[in-house]
Structure 1
Amino acid sequence: MTISARATPPRIGLTGGIGSGKSTVAAIWRDAGHRVIDLDAHSRAVLDTPGDGVEEAVTRFGERFRTSGGIIDRAALAALVFADDEARADLEAIVLSRVDRAVAAEEREAAAAGEALVVHDSPLLLEKDRGLDYAAVVAVLARWEDRIHRVVRDRGKDRAYVESIMAAQVTDLERIRRADRLVLNTTDRGTLAQRARHALAVLVDAL
């Protein structure tokens, strides 16, 4: 596919629930040479990097949420916003406006480089009802117990924590209904890589 350097590359949305293997698929696509924009990383950077995002958060929520390193204590702030809908909406406004600008900058770089597409690695794509922002949406699916085991093993979280996150996310049935392509993470990484590359190749051919 050839694309003008002034055009905006088509977007592919990549999503999946906690422990599904979405980040692994993103890495597979990135290693294959595609530009993958990690929206979660941009989101974390707003509060993990001293700057105007941190200052706006401190102004809104209080100096007690600033760490000695000059960034936001995200765990403490999360405890607040998950119990207060208004606070959560305010935090999302602070973070998402900056994420959108960072993503737009990466997309301009992709366009200038003549890249054929960009992938948005977006864990809350469906929860935020952003499906129409993409030429296609790919959802990564894995078994419920496999997901729990993976997060407990790799991130040191307990089962109750993982299940609480899963309960707050859309169901796999909803992902199946709303995604254009599915990637099943049900065996080993080699098989997942084959499935991931095939799914993206099909979408690229259709763009």
Structure 2
Amino acid sequence: MPHATSPLRLGLTGGIGSGKSTVADLWRRAGLRVIDLDAHSRRVLDVPGDGVEDAVARFGEQFRTLGGTIDRAALARLVFADGDARADLERLVLSRVDIAVAAEEAEAARAGERVVVHDSPLLLEKHHEAEYRGVVAVLARREDRIDRVVRDRGKDRAYVESIMAAQVTDLERIRRADRLVLNTADRETLAARARHALDGMLAVLGTGPGDPGDSALR
């Protein structure tokens, strides 16, 4: 039997509050397979299993919740203050994320899908852009991003600004991404801009009529 062809990878990224997740949802509802790397990362510590057990073995039983998961807030306080602990946590989580992503990509290949999108908030911070045929970055005004996270997620301004400080700047996103989606108006405008960016990327990749995503968001 012939081997399934690996799908082409697109990367989607953006800073906190930029609207990246909204763009990912638009593309997903248009029929593209969007792999949420952040969701896979959370599952490692939020679902009882090998990931939780390895985390407890490394960091201590005090980080296990009554529900059998990891107290991520408590663990975050530790790893942000301890570089070695942070590196160990990243290795523990990312090794499992890689396995989960590979499984989704294999499923896409078996289904004959030509394109998959990695929704990856730290794509540029981790210098992973070379792993993709193209990278799309979502941009929004700084104050709009802060207001959105404070309003929708119940975080305070200091929290949002601390996350922003740890992420690359919009100038870096402009310099390193292949295409940009500006989230500076209403949702309808964002959808149109997301469609334009995706159609442009698919045209460059040469996906033909009938391929998954060739008429995405139309």
In the alignment, what sits opposite 1:130?
Answer: 128
Letter matched to residue 25 of structure 1: V
Q: 1:94-139: per-residue Cα shift (whole Å, max 9, x none)?
A: 0000000000000000011111200000000000000000000000
Q: 1:94 aligns with which of 76, 92, 95?
A: 92
Q: 2:70 aligns with which of 69, 72, 75?
A: 72
Question: The residue matched to 1:33 in structure 2 has which SS?
Answer: coil
Q: 1:178 aligns with which of 176, 179, 182?
A: 176
Question: The residue matched to 1:15 in structure 2 has which SS?
Answer: strand
Answer whether contact 1:9 1:118 (CA < 8 A) is retained: yes
CA shift, 1:159, in A, is 0.4
Q: 1:169 aligns with which of 167, 170, 174?
A: 167
Tell me, in whole angstroms, the C-alpha distance in 2 between the residues paired with 1:109 and 1:191: 33
Letter matched to residue 100 of structure 1: D
Answer whether contact 1:5 1:111 (CA < 8 A) is retained: no
Tell me, in whole angstroms, the C-alpha distance in 1 between the residues paired with 2:158 and 2:47: 30
In the alignment, what sits opposite 1:140?
Answer: 138
In the alignment, what sits opposite 2:11?
Answer: 13
CA shift, 1:198, in A, is 1.2
Answer whether contact 2:6 2:114 (CA < 8 A) is retained: no
Tell me, in whole angstroms, the C-alpha distance in 2 between the residues paired with 1:152 and 1:183: 22
Answer whether contact 1:176 1:182 (CA < 8 A) is retained: yes
Tell me, in whole angstroms, the C-alpha distance in 2 between the residues paired with 1:155 and 1:83: 24
In the alignment, what sits opposite 2:214?
Answer: none
Size of the alignment, in residue pairs? 204
Question: The residue matched to 1:36 in structure 2 has which SS?
Answer: strand
CA shift, 1:205, in A, is 1.0
TM-score (norm 2): 0.93
Answer whether contact 1:5 1:113 (CA < 8 A) is retained: no
Q: Which runs of 5+ in 1 are unaligned?
A: none
Tell me, in whole angstroms, the C-alpha distance in 1 between the residues paired with 2:3 and 2:175: 34
How large is the Cα RMSD of the aligned pairs?
0.8
In the alignment, what sits opposite 2:119?
Answer: 121
Tell me, in whole angstroms, the C-alpha distance in 2 between the residues paired with 1:155 and 1:111: 35
CA shift, 1:18, in A, is 0.1
Q: 1:32 to 1:5 in 2, by over 3 A?
A: farther
Question: The residue matched to 2:81 in structure 1 has which SS?
Answer: coil
TM-score (norm 1): 0.97
Q: 1:38-92: per-residue Cα shift (whole Å, max 9, x none)?
A: 0000000000000000000000000000000000000000000011100000000
Question: The residue matched to 1:105 in structure 2 has which SS?
Answer: helix
Q: 1:10-34: per-residue Cα shift (whole Å, max 9, x none)?
A: 1000000000000000000001000
Answer whether contact 1:48 1:72 (CA < 8 A) is retained: yes
Identity rate of aligned residues, in percent? Answer: 77
Answer whether contact 2:181 2:197 (CA < 8 A) is retained: yes
Indicate whether 1:29 and 2:27 are aligned.
yes
CA shift, 1:5, in A, is 6.6
